[in-house]
Each structure stands twice: as structure tokens, then as C-alpha cells.
Amino acid sequence: MELELVRTYFPSGTNGRILAQRRLVCFSIELTWKDNRTGVSCIPEGRYALAKRGSRKFGAHLRGMDVPERSDILIHPANDALQELKGCIAPVSSLSGAGPGLRSRCALQALISLADEAFRRKEPVCLTIKSDPYEFG
């Protein structure tokens, strides 16, 4: 299954749309681009395999594999990129500004359900991250 994260970059955060087959699954929030620096930057644009993961802190979530010069890049719940993220991606149900969003756990559950269908079929799940081609800035 191919997912696509289409980003728009702002000085205070990075917002995105996560699509499956060109249909909106949810929105996303991330830190701003700061040259891929660990803990303070969103990850580089590119294509990443995803794996399912679980933890006490986040419950079921996804992990981005083989991110250049980074490790433990997760897709996990968060509603404020600056307060709760250290380079990871947070799905949200709606955006409330450049960096914050709402109802992250609901959005993550929708994304996990979609990925689980592919995992059950033994299909790889990949996320391609790119800039919004209509962004002017």
C-alpha cells in the first residue's frame, strides 16, 4: 500500500495531508525543516517503508524505516508539534494552525486500520513524503 504525505512548510511547523489512493486519510503535523537535525527537524522528503509498532506510551503506532541519519522516527499521536514531537509525524483529524492539530488519536486509528489491512494481505506499506506542488512561498 502506498501512502503519500504532502507537506506545506511554515516557520512554526509543518502541516500535511496523508493520502491513500489520492483520498484524504488525515492531516499531519511535524516540526519545521531544520536540515534533518535530530530532535528539532522534520525528516527529509523521500519514500519510507513503514512497520507497525507498539509501546506503553503511544499504544499501536507506525515506525518509518531507513530514514537517512535518523532513527526511531514514529508516526504517533500528538496535538502540538513544538510541544510533543522530536522529529516524528503526528496524524491529526484537523489542523488548528501551523504545527498544532486536533484529535490525533482518532486520526492515528484511521491510519493504523488502513495499514493493518495491507499488513494482513502481506503487502508492504510505504509513505512518500513530498512538498505541496501548489505551495507558493
Question: Which three cell numbers, joined as nine digits, stand for 134?
Answer: 501548489
* pLDDT confidence of residue 133: 79
d(CA 50, CA 128): 10
Burial of 82 (0-12, 13-18, 19+ CB in 10 A): middle
This prediction has a pTM of: 0.95
Report how far apart, in Å, the C-alpha atoms of 127 and of each of 51, 109, 114 are.
Answer: 11, 16, 13
First to last CA, the chain: 31
- pLDDT tens over the chain, length 137 residues: 999 999 999 999 999 999 999 999 999 999 999 999 999 999 999 999 999 999 999 999 999 999 999 999 999 999 999 999 999 999 999 999 999 999 999 999 999 999 999 999 999 999 999 999 776 55
d(CA 121, CA 110): 18
d(CA 88, CA 120): 25
Phi, psi of 14 (to 5 degrees): -115, 125
Q: Amino acid identity of 92?
A: V
* pLDDT confidence of residue 136: 56
33 and 14 Cβ atoms separated by less than 8 Å: yes
Q: C-alpha 27: how far from its chain's center?
A: 8
